[in-house]
Structure 1
Amino acid sequence: MTLKHLHAAIATLLLSFSALAADPFDDKFRQLDELLPTPGAIRTASGAPGNAYWQQRADYKLRATLDEAARSISGAGTVTYHNNSPDTLSYLWVQLDQNMFRADSDNRKIATVPSREAWASTREADGLKFEAMRFNLESRGFDGGFNIKSVKTGDGQPLRHVINKTMMRIDLPQPMKPGARFSFSMEWSFKVAELNVLGRRSGFERFNEQDKNDLFEIAQWYPRMAAYYDAAGWQNKQYLGDGEFTLEFGDYDIELTVPADHIVASTGELQNPGSVLSAAQRERLIQARSASKPVIIVTQAEAELAEKSRSTATRTWHFKAKNVRDFAWASSRKFIWDAQGYKNGATDVMAMSYYPKEGNPLWEKYSTQAIVHTIDQYNKYSFDYPYPTAISVNGPVGGMEYPMISFNGPRPTKDKKTGEITYSKQTKYGLISVIIHEVGHNYFPMIVNSDERQWTWMDEGINSFVQYLAEQAWEEEYPRSRSEPRAIVDYMRSKNQVPIMTNSESVLQRGNNAYAKPATALNILRETVLGRELFDFAFREYAQRWKFKRPTPSDFFRTMEDASGTDLDWFWRGWFYTTDAVDVSVDGISEYGVSSKNPEIEKAWRKAQKDAEPVSLTNQRNKGMARRVEAHPELKDFYNENGDFTVTNKDRNKYNETIETLEPWEKALLAQGKHLYLVDFSNIGGLVTPLVLEIELKSGKKYIERIPAEVWRYSSKKITKLIVTDEPMVGLVQDPYWETADTDVSNNAWPRKITPSRVELFKTERGTNDLMKDFRTPLKGKNEKKDATPAPKAAQ
């Protein structure tokens, strides 16, 4: 490179060379305007609620009775609906989620069984085949669903209502104008499903024949007002089982009548402890309020005593809850109960756990501690927990959340030989993680009230991300879980994907799509794209803005950009609207040194390059042969003594003349002795990403150079970047810490690195008669939700 062209060449290189192909220009950085709704006075362009924001409200005064013998619930009560919208409503929609358990429900009709290949398989498929058979047969025979006995006005007049599967329309006697409220009463009953058979988010657990006790976890137990909001109107999508719930905030006044020897865990605060608790239990609750560790309210001995008797009397537990979007409860005579108060800032909460003896010793050691830890950590990243209680219940539901209460599954196991109760490392951390996850749902979506029936990722993905932050604060080397970029690469490589921005009921691989991928995206956004300071400020701003309100995806995207001061449309588009993956290849490196024009330096450099060339085979074999000039020295002259790399006076004079003509910046550049490298990158995966380059120099020094994703703005497929170093570069690695979820790290280094692995030297046993065994596709798990630790939702 000559000095004459140096200035222009460096200017061009610093812009990053783009190898533009003949393909049409794919602008990965175009704005999301064509995908996001137009902002306005309700939802602003900054992502905040506008001055015209509104949301509906529904208050409930209900009573319910648990018939333990019949395993059924009957209920009645009044709903007061507040029309805070600018619209006049002529009817109301109500969710009847229990109707999913009807034998003729869409959920049952659309249920499928394992594939034909799975049925043909052997032992590995036996469990799935049995489960599928049992589920289909039991669901056909179970008489589930709501029996709506009456729907009446406040003065007792029947209201016309139409049931459409899992939804019920109530026709109003007079249209509801903006600002109006309307009260109506209902009576209903339903049979409680056995959760381990029919699955989902509510049901009873049947214990062994010697025990003869049940444990009830009750949710979706009353007809619930559907949400009506500006972005969707009535959210009356049918409940098929995966898309969860979209509900309105309100106050609840609930009376629950259960067997007199039952203990009840519930959303809200207990109003009548004197009627349902002993004096000793009430005193223990007072102690727990200021305790430094959990206090046992109902001991294991007391619970075991209750298990052996069965009261024929009943007691009514009275609870109230303010400004919640739902209400759930659990009831059993088997419950051990412990509690601990936690107070910090505006948070003043009783953390409480309810579990049968089968949960010990694991539950008494970890459950309430995990609740307190969750609230402490989530407060840092969002807002102070505003409710008076936070509860974890052990029962048949693997993991499910409701305001102030969550149902969580892992238990120890009993060794069949020794009878010893033990738990594995996976069970221990599975319990801690699922409690963090489900209690964390109080923040997302129980308070930041996103539409779960439409966008699963807005509650599951965001919550899984904060769960990951809380897990890291539990202990060093906490077992790897969702949000780690390296944990999502197998899914990102797969063809069986849909974009994150897919309706909840159409998501494939729910755990990967709605939990892990969005959580990983947010982790990358925090660690690699924005940095922790900018991200944490923006994320907390989102939580604060939308606390007790209903955000949409666009509100989240816009708030994160607004509060961080960063255009992230490329990030949302790639991670949330496509199935592209990160796969950046380092294709090659060329070195370009700056010529000093000093003949002493340049000729020495060329000689070194010449000396570094391999000696040809011919020259190797000719070494030592007789040469004529050696036998006749008189044949040698000036050129034999001075070769191509000899510096002459003519060279020196020319150099001095050149130096006098240089600009100061050119002289400074020559004096620095920089090394210039052109590095070629290919975006094979399609998802643009920042470049994280580990550069290794000849001295052994390594350093990181971070380049924003906008480096791909002119060409999303191939770019060339200029790297300038103080000494020779001997190696370069893209994404050395595996922080971008690059799906193929074998092409990330230059020079290429050998990939270590293992080859199995011993053949595994195989059947001698089954010649087609090796050609069958390995059986996949039946249900994504069963997979992984933690398992955030109930099985099936």
Structure 2
Amino acid sequence: MTRLHASFAALSLLAAFAASAQQFDDKFRQLDELLPTPTDTRTASGAPGHAYWQQRADYTIRATLDEAKRAISGTETITYRNNSPDTLSYLWVQLDQNMFAADSDNRTIISYPSREAWATGRTGQGGLQFDAARFIFASRAFDGGFKIASVTDTDGKPLRYVINKTMMRIDLPQPMKPGARYAFKMAWRFNLPENIVLGRRMGFERFDKEDKNDLFEIAQWYPRMAAYYDAHGWQNKQYLGDGEFTLEFGDYDVELTVPSDHIVAATGVLQNPQDVLSAVQRKRLEQARTATKPVVIVSQAEAEAAEKGRATTTRTWRFKAANVRDFAFATSRKFIWDAQGFKSGGTDVMAMSFYPKEANPLWEKYSTPAIIHTIDSYSKYTFDYPYPVAISVNGPVGGMEYPMISFNGGRPTKDKKTGQLTYSKRTKYGLISVIIHEVGHNYFPMIVNSDERQWTWMDEGINTFMQFLAEQAWEENYPSSRGEARAIVDYMKSRGQTPIMTNSESVLSRGNNAYAKPATALNVLRETVLGRELFDFAFREYAQRWKFKRPTPADFFRTMEDASGTDLDWFWRGWFYGTQPVDVSVDGISEYQISSKDPEIEKKWKKAQHDQEPISITDQRNKGTLSRYVDGKPGLKDFYNEHDDFTVTNHDRNKYNETVAGLEDWEKALLKEGKHLYLVDFTNVGGLVTPLVLEITLASGKKYIERVPAEVWRHNPKKITKLVITDEPMVGLTQDPYLETADVDTSNNAWPRKLMPSRLELFKAKREQDDMMKDFNEPLKNIGETKAAE
């Protein structure tokens, strides 16, 4: 540090010159230019308006699984309610299974960013080159997509319809007026894809090497109403695979006919346990409602016995679900089933897990407790879980969510020496995390019903943030992979980023862009910008306002500002609309002390500074060798030879007395306090404005934190000078000492500079070169990769 001596006037002048004359870049300008104009349906506060409306679709479905052919056929009646103020002349229906059809865009758009991307084994969609090729070849032979048998009104009269790949337009015989209700029927069938080869969030898994059985996880399996809402109209973007689903709430009555030795897990409540469960299983299920730990409904021994046979008869399982936006199910004779009841507010909930024997001993220990913990944790920050069931299923899908049911990967591996199933630490916590994440999706977007086809971050990013909170509440030192600011640094300083506010199909790094960065942003907002109390209140307000409704990004941004009482436009603009990183450099520190004006003090201080200065090279070499003229002529010496510049004279004393006589009492007191003043220069190298978190170290060894809001950058977002006042000398300063702002270069965060320790991997290149199987040893991530792999 350099130490200077200055008056208050000098300090003010220096602070004024600290503002740069460069072109002004207003990082704090309002988002009005980007956000939609508030309306009667969506207010400026971020709340639903007095005229808010949303459509509704109720379903009655009857479906049958043909296990031998691996196909599903079904009929459904959709009752659609036009709650909008608009007259509709046609309806749009989603045919998501058509992504497996021969003319699917999903098959034809596979591409590579460059030849280098192919050579290194990565496709534009994120899969390995081997799996991309496998997908292309397998999809050519697979007869996928819906085979629509009929589309009629309730009297059986055919309706005119047009299929545009994954979308179907149904032309209504008469326009639907506002408030009208219309019912129509459809009959269809489709072949199930094998998940590991073609599947996208659903499909079947073969157990050819074990017991010759299949495990089915069925989703996107029936034609579903597309969403129509005020901010977008019809959401009829094609389903390309990344942009997920935008759906309407409704009631479901579903009958599923499967082989009689199958166990079925599904959205909703089982209506006919007496028809599909044994008396013993029904008794166990009843006991589970009040149990304090999971109760086994179908044991491993019972599942293993079922695996050995093949039923020639069928059973029909009937489920009902109220006010949900979708329906999914899983079925297999391999399923072990455990359950435990618990309370969420005033709701009795059954947490249930379904898994094959290959998932034990991991699943029987952790799945159901993880469900209960997730709902307890999420409810604390949002609202009580409103549904009667929460299910976790182990199968081929690595991680996917639906109302009341989720598909989760993660299994033990067989020990080569003992032959027993065992699991690593990574597998254990990977399982707990994926269950927390997928069960947590019941809140976002299954209840807070955002448009997933448009904005992936609104469900995945917000849910990943909530997942981080739940993980930290599971146990101390939980190995969370996303949420902490330090975990996003590598992505934040990488090239080729896209803003968080990018359409789902256009993001370049889905895992980082849609999951990790928004989760980190919300954690920074909670811990560093707002503080937990303000953030938690505002976030809960958002969840409560938009429960069972469809929010947009603007509704989230506005609610968080409205409920926290904080202008956050700079934060949304930087973190969500931009790609610049946080990188604040501490450029230097100048020390100042307030002059006491007392010559006795000031000249003593100046002499001490002078005595600390190094002796000049000239004086060093002249000493003892140079004969001085006046030394031989003593008569030439006077007062000034006997006294130096640090001698206090009567003139000095008189001037001091005159100065002090004109001061106020508070000014006299301030002169005697001896405060230490430091001007600290900061440069915003990264471009993203951020609060300053300053750890100040004093000469005594004492450390303390001074937090400075991001508005410190409002007049100059590139360079600022900050005044720091201490009671004793400052010997060090560190910006962002807890790594809470995602600063991408910590080498410039301290003054004096600190050495940055690292390790040199001398043998890394050789090891990688020798590992010819490294690509194949990674978890499979084909074109149909699941979200858990991202």
**Coarse TM-score class (shorter-chain normalised):** over 0.9
| AA matched with 1:411 | R
Shift, 1:159, TM fit: 0.4
Task: Tell me which residue corresponds to 2:56.
Answer: 57
Task: Tell me which residue corresponds to 2:314.
Answer: 314
Distance 1:711 1:540 in 2: 29
Task: Tell me which residue corresponds to 1:179.
Answer: 179
The within-5 A match list for 1:292-441 is 292-441=292-441
Is the Cα contact below 8 Å between 1:392 and 1:407 reproduced in 2?
yes
Question: Is residue 2:75 matched to residue 1:76?
Answer: yes
- SS of the counterpart of 1:432? helix
The within-5 A match list for 1:712-723 is 712-723=713-724
- SS of the counterpart of 2:197? helix
Distance 1:321 1:154 in 2: 22
Task: Tell me which residue corresponds to 2:787.
Answer: 793
- SS of the counterpart of 1:482? coil
Task: Tell me which residue corresponds to 1:231.
Answer: 231
C-alpha spacing 1:489/1:783, structure 2 compared with 1 (3 Å): farther
Deviations 1:156-175 (CA, angstroms, capped at 9, x unpaired): 10000100000000011110
C-alpha spacing 1:383/1:123, structure 2 compared with 1 (3 Å): closer
Is the Cα contact below 8 Å between 1:402 and 1:446 reproduced in 2?
yes
Deviations 1:557-598 (CA, angstroms, capped at 9, x unpaired): 000000000011111111111111111111111112111111
Question: Is residue 2:142 matched to residue 1:148?
Answer: no
Is the Cα contact below 8 Å between 2:6 and 2:594 reproduced in 1?
no
Shift, 1:729, TM fit: 1.3
- SS of the counterpart of 1:570? helix
| AA matched with 1:168 | M
Distance 1:762 1:110 in 2: 40
Task: Tell me which residue corresponds to 1:724.
Answer: 725
Distance 1:570 1:240 in 2: 33
Task: Tell me which residue corresponds to 2:704.
Answer: 703
Task: Tell me which residue corresponds to 1:479.
Answer: 479
Distance 2:216 2:684 in 1: 53
Q: Structure 1 unaligned runs (5+)? A: none
Task: Tell me which residue corresponds to 1:451.
Answer: 451
Task: Tell me which residue corresponds to 2:595.
Answer: 595
Is the Cα contact below 8 Å between 1:511 and 1:784 reproduced in 2?
no
Question: Is residue 2:170 matched to residue 1:170?
Answer: yes
Task: Tell me which residue corresponds to 1:85.
Answer: 84
The within-5 A match list for 1:344-743 is 344-623=344-623, 625=625, 634=634, 638-743=639-744
C-alpha spacing 1:475/1:161, structure 2 compared with 1 (3 Å): same
- SS of the counterpart of 2:341? strand
Distance 1:545 1:237 in 2: 27
Deviations 1:354-404 (CA, angstroms, capped at 9, x unpaired): 000000000000000000000000000000000000000000000000000
Distance 2:487 2:17 in 1: 33
- SS of the counterpart of 1:173? strand
Distance 2:326 2:527 in 1: 35
Distance 2:39 2:103 in 1: 43
C-alpha spacing 1:717/1:252, structure 2 compared with 1 (3 Å): same
The within-5 A match list for 1:65-144 is 65-112=64-111, 115-117=114-116, 119-120=118-119, 128-144=128-144
Shift, 1:329, TM fit: 0.1
Distance 1:424 1:786 in 2: 24
Deviations 1:211-238 (CA, angstroms, capped at 9, x unpaired): 1100000000100000000000000000
| AA matched with 2:569 | D
| AA matched with 2:740 | E
Deviations 1:71-107 (CA, angstroms, capped at 9, x unpaired): 0000102110000000000000000000000122000
Shift, 1:12, TM fit: 6.3
C-alpha spacing 1:74/1:42, structure 2 compared with 1 (3 Å): same
| AA matched with 1:448 | V
| AA matched with 1:744 | D
C-alpha spacing 1:470/1:93, structure 2 compared with 1 (3 Å): same
Distance 1:425 1:61 in 2: 44
| AA matched with 2:647 | T
Distance 1:520 1:785 in 2: 24
- SS of the counterpart of 1:315? strand
Distance 1:122 1:102 in 2: 26
C-alpha spacing 1:784/1:282, structure 2 compared with 1 (3 Å): closer
| AA matched with 1:667 | K
Is the Cα contact below 8 Å between 2:6 and 2:593 reproduced in 1?
no
Distance 1:320 1:253 in 2: 5
| AA matched with 1:410 | G
The within-5 A match list for 1:11-22 is 18-22=18-22
Is the Cα contact below 8 Å between 1:464 and 1:516 reproduced in 2?
yes
Is the Cα contact below 8 Å between 2:698 and 2:732 reproduced in 1?
yes
Shift, 1:304, TM fit: 0.3
Q: With structure 2 as the length reference, what TM-score do the two structures score?
A: 0.94
Greater displacement, 637-646 / 115-124: 115-124
C-alpha spacing 1:594/1:779, structure 2 compared with 1 (3 Å): farther
Distance 1:82 1:707 in 2: 52
RMSD: 2.6
The within-5 A match list for 1:249-268 is 249-268=249-268
Is the Cα contact below 8 Å between 2:197 and 2:782 reproduced in 1?
no
Shift, 1:779, TM fit: 8.8
Shift, 1:437, TM fit: 0.3
- SS of the counterpart of 2:339? strand
Task: Tell me which residue corresponds to 1:212.
Answer: 212
Is the Cα contact below 8 Å between 2:284 and 2:296 reproduced in 1?
yes
Q: With structure 1 as the length reference, what TM-score do the two structures score?
A: 0.94
Distance 2:591 2:183 in 1: 78
Distance 2:270 2:666 in 1: 78
Greater displacement, 560-569 / 689-698: 689-698
Is the Cα contact below 8 Å between 2:6 and 2:592 reproduced in 1?
no
Distance 2:121 2:202 in 1: 32
Deviations 1:711-768 (CA, angstroms, capped at 9, x unpaired): 111111111111111111111111111111111111111111111122345685489x
Shift, 1:781, TM fit: 12
| AA matched with 1:757 | S
Distance 2:121 2:506 in 1: 30
Deviations 1:436-492 (CA, angstroms, capped at 9, x unpaired): 000000000000000000000000000000100000000000003211100111111
Task: Tell me which residue corresponds to 1:752.
Answer: 753
C-alpha spacing 1:624/1:758, structure 2 compared with 1 (3 Å): farther
Distance 1:10 1:632 in 2: 47
Greater displacement, 483-492 / 113-122: 113-122
Q: Matched residue pairs, number?
A: 779
Distance 2:120 2:720 in 1: 48
Is the Cα contact below 8 Å between 2:434 and 2:788 reproduced in 1?
no
- SS of the counterpart of 2:331? strand
Is the Cα contact below 8 Å between 2:461 and 2:519 reproduced in 1?
yes
Distance 2:267 2:217 in 1: 12
Is the Cα contact below 8 Å between 2:582 and 2:744 reproduced in 1?
yes
Distance 1:783 1:411 in 2: 13
C-alpha spacing 1:527/1:68, structure 2 compared with 1 (3 Å): same
C-alpha spacing 1:13/1:342, structure 2 compared with 1 (3 Å): farther
| AA matched with 1:347 | T
- SS of the counterpart of 1:505? coil
Is the Cα contact below 8 Å between 2:603 and 2:648 reproduced in 1?
yes
C-alpha spacing 1:287/1:623, structure 2 compared with 1 (3 Å): farther
Is the Cα contact below 8 Å between 1:13 and 1:722 reproduced in 2?
no
| AA matched with 1:245 | F
